[in-house]
Amino acid sequence: MSTLTMQGLATAHPRWRARAVLALLLAGFAVLVLRAGYLQGWNNDFLRQKGESRYGRVIEMPATRGIITDRNREPLAISTPVESVWASPGDVEITPEKMKRLAQLLEVDHAEIAKKLADTKREFVYIKRHMPPEEAAKVLALDVPGISLQREYRRYYPGGEFFAHLVGFTDVDGKGQEGLELALEDELAGKPGSRRVIKDRLGHIVEDVESIRTPQQGRDIALSIDARVQYLAYRELKNAVALHQARAGGIVVLDAISGDILAMANLPSYNPNNRGKLDPKRMRNRAVTDLFEPGSTLKPFTAAAAMESGLFRADSIVQTGNGELTIGGATIHDAHPAGALTVSQVIQKSSNVGAAKMALALPPEKLWTMLSHVGFGSVPHAGFPGEGSGRLRPYAGWKPIEQATMAYGHGISVSLLQLARAYMVFASDGEIRPLSLLRREGMAESTRVMSAETAQQIRKMLELVVLPGGTAPKAQVAGYRVGGKTGTAHKLEGASYAANKYISSFVGLAPASAPRLIVAVMIDEPTAGGYYGGTVAAPVFSAVMSGALRLLGVKPDAPLNNVVLPPPDAPEVREEV
C-alpha cells in the first residue's frame, strides 16, 4: 500500500475517537453495574415486584365449614376435602395429546376447556370444581404449565333425604342455600385466609412467601334434633304417604317440657348430596312454610277459652240438636247428630255444632286472645328460614258465622309447627315455651296462657278422643296413656272448599299423666284407604310416639295391654268440616 493511502486512513480515523468510544463503553458498563448493584443490593423492591407479577400468586386458604350434628353429636353435615382444577390461561402450554387426556380425566368437553383457556388476559379460571383428591392427582401428573390444583371443601350429608328439609345444603362455593345451612351461614362459614406464594412456570409452588390472613374455621353447631327420632318419624310418614297415595305429608316431634324440636320431616323429600337434580317443589319445608286450615284440631282451644271464661265446665251440657246450626244463610253440620253433649264429649265426638255454640257464647276477643296467646298468627321463631305466621284476623271484624267456623278450625290458617307448639299448653299445664332447633342448656322462660286446671281438664278430654267412642282409637300406644285430637278439613281452592280434597291431621301428647312428647302429623290429599284424621294420621302418631318414647327411655304409665280398639263391626266415629 502506498504512503499516500496510509496517510488518508489515518486522517479518516483519528486515534482520539477510538479512545472516546472505548470510554463510552466503559462508562455504560459501569452504569449497568451500578444499576444492578442498586437494584439487587439497596433497592430490590422493583425486581421483586416484577418477579412476583410473573410468578407470584395470592392463594386463598378456605376455612373449614363448621359441622352440624344432632343433639347427641351424630354428624348431619360435614365438609370433606376436595381438589378443584384451575388454570392461568396466559401460562398454559399444552399439546393436543395432553389436552385430549385432560378432557378425559376431567370428563369435560374438549371445546369447553379450550374456551376457558382462550382468554389469556385472565389470571385465574376454574376448569373443574370439587374432584376427589386421587382423581385430581392424575391431572397434576400431566405436568401442564399453568394448570394447578386448589384445595376446597365439599359438604356431605350422611342423613340424605331424612334430614334434607332441616339441614338444607350449600352451593359449589360452600355457601348455605336452604335450611339451617342458610339460616346459620354466618356461624358455620368461618372466614377464609390467604397466603402469598411463588410458583414456577409449571404452576408448582416453589416458595411460601408469607401468610396474609389466617383462616378462621366455622363453628360446630349441635341441633335439638334427635337423629333416632328423626329416622323413625320420616320412615312412618313415608309409609303413610305411600299407603294413602297422598300428595304430601309432614310431621313434627317436640319435647313437651323444653320446647326443643326433636324431629321434623316432610314428603316429598330430596337427596342434598345430589345437587345436580334438585326439584324446587321438593325442597320446601312444608312443616314450617306451608299453611293450612287446621280443622278440628283447633277445637280444644275453643273449649279451653270457653272454660277459662267461667261460662263452661268440662261437664257443662251443650245442645247440638240434630247436628245442624244455621247462622244467616250458612248451616254448620255434624257428621253424627248427637243431641245433648258435655264439653268433654264435644271434643271426643268432634262436634262442629258444639264447638260453634261454645264460641258464640264468648265475646270474640276471648277466643281471639286464646288463639293468639298459643302462637297462631305469629311467626314461631324456631330459627328456620321462611317460617310462616299463619292467618288470624283481628276479632273486631269477625261476623258471627266467622266466629262459629273459627271454633272448629275454618277461617284460620296455621303451619304444622305452630300447631304442635300450641298443644304445649295442654302438655305443660297451661304454659308455653319458645321453640328451638338448636340444642340448648337449661329451660327457656315460659308464658302462662291458661290455668293449670283448665289445661289438665282439656288433657283428659284428649284422652277420650283416642278411646272407643272417640275419633282416633288408632292413636293408642301400648304401655302409655296418650291424648290428642283429629282434624279432617276440606282444602281451600281459591275462594271455596274442594269437595273431595282433604288435609288429614292428628296432634297428640304422651304420656298423658306427665307429657314428655308432642307429635303433630299432617297428610295432604290422601286418596286411598280413607281420608279421616283418625284413619290416616292417627296411626302415624301411634307408631312414632311409641318408638320415640322407648328410644328416650320414658317410663310407661299404663299396662302393656291398655290398647282397647272398637269392635270390628262398630261404626266409625267420623268428623268432617
Instruction: Provide the residue ranges of all domains of the chain, joining segments of one domain with +.
Output: 58-103+121-222, 227-271+284-551
Q: What is the pLDDT of residues 398-444, one digit of tens each?
A: 999 999 999 999 999 999 999 999 999 999 999 999 999 999 888 88
Which is catalytic among the residues 148, 296, 344, 428? 296
For the chain, what percent of residues have pLDDT higher than 70?
90
| Mean pLDDT for the stretch of residues 256-263 | 96
Give the torsion through C-alpha atoms of 143, 148, 150, 151, to 10 deg.
10
CATH H-level, domain 227-271+284-551: superfamily: DD-peptidase/beta-lactamase superfamily (3.40.710.10)
Band (pLDDT 50/70/90 cuts) for residue 211 is low
Q: Comparing C-alpha atoms, which of 151, 162, 157 is closest to residue 83?
A: 151
492 forms beta bridges with 497
The pLDDT, as a whole number, for residue 63 is 82
The per-residue pLDDT for 169 is: 93
Beta-strand ranges (E) seen in 157-311 are 193-199, 205-213, 221-222, 248-255, 261-267
pLDDT higher than 50, residue 272: yes
Cβ–Cβ under 8 Å, residues 306 and 355: no
pLDDT of res. 496: 84
Q: Is the pLDDT of residue 502 over 50?
A: yes
Count Cβ neighbours within 10 Å for each residue of 54-70 and write b for 16 or more, e otherwise.
ebbbebeebbbbbbbbb
Q: Can you tell me the mean pLDDT for 441-468?
A: 95
Angle between helices 299-308 and 352-360 (to 10 degrees): 40
Position 241 pLDDT exceeds 50 = yes
Residue 151 is predicted with a pLDDT of 83
Q: How far apart are CA 367 and CA 383, in angstroms?
A: 28
Whole-angstrom Cα distance, residue 185 to residue 250? Answer: 25
Nearest to 263, CA basis, from 130, 417, 65: 417
Kindly give, in sequence order, each residue whose CB lies less than 8 Å from that of residue 30, ignoring residues fewer than 6 positions away. Answer: none
- Please check the confidence at residue 395 and state whether its pLDDT lies above 50: yes
The H or E element containing residue 99 is helix 96-106
State the architecture of 58-103+121-222 in CATH terms. Answer: Alpha-Beta Complex (3.90)
The confidence score (pLDDT) of residue 205 equals 54
CA distances from 17 to 11, 14, 20, 21 (A): 11, 6, 5, 6
Query: What are the DSSP calls for 353-395, one per residue?
Result: HHHHHHHHTS-HHHHHHHHHHTTTTS---SS-TT----B---G
For the chain, percent of residues with pLDDT exceeding 90? 62
Kindly state the average pLDDT of the residues 260-271: 96
Is residue 477 scored above 80 in pLDDT? Answer: yes
Q: What is the mean pLDDT of residues 26-33?
A: 78
Q: Which residues contact 191 (CB under 8 A, 6 or more apart)?
A: 63, 215, 216
Q: Nearest 5 degrees, angle CA 435-CA 429-CA 440? A: 30
User: Across residues 85-89, what is the average pLDDT?
Assistant: 86
Q: Confirm whether 296 is a catalytic residue.
A: yes
Please report the pLDDT score of residue 342 as a whole number: 97
Contact indicator for 481, 512 with CB cutoff of 8 Å? yes
- Averaged confidence pLDDT in the chain: 89
The average pLDDT across 366-393 equals 95
Q: What is the DSSP string of 513-550?
A: TS--EEEEEEEES--SS---HHHHTHHHHHHHHHHHHH
Which residue matches cell numbers 277461617? 411
Give the SS3 label for residue 186.
Answer: helix
Cross-strand partners of 216: 191
Higher pLDDT, 443 or 311: 311
Structure confidence at residue 4 (pLDDT): 47
Where residue 54 falls among pLDDT bands split at 50, 70, 90? low
| Cβ-proximal residues to 435 (8 Å cutoff; 6+ apart), any chain | 254, 259, 260, 261, 380, 381, 382, 417, 421
Alpha-carbon distance of 240 to 562, in angstroms, equals 24
The pLDDT-based confidence of 60 (bands split at 50, 70, 90) is low
pLDDT of residue 308 exceeding 70, the answer is yes
**Any residues with CB less than 8 A from the CB of 551 and at least 6 apart, and which?**
226, 228, 229, 232
Most confident by average pLDDT, 39-48, 61-70, 78-87, 307-316: 307-316
- Coil, helix or strand at residue 234: helix
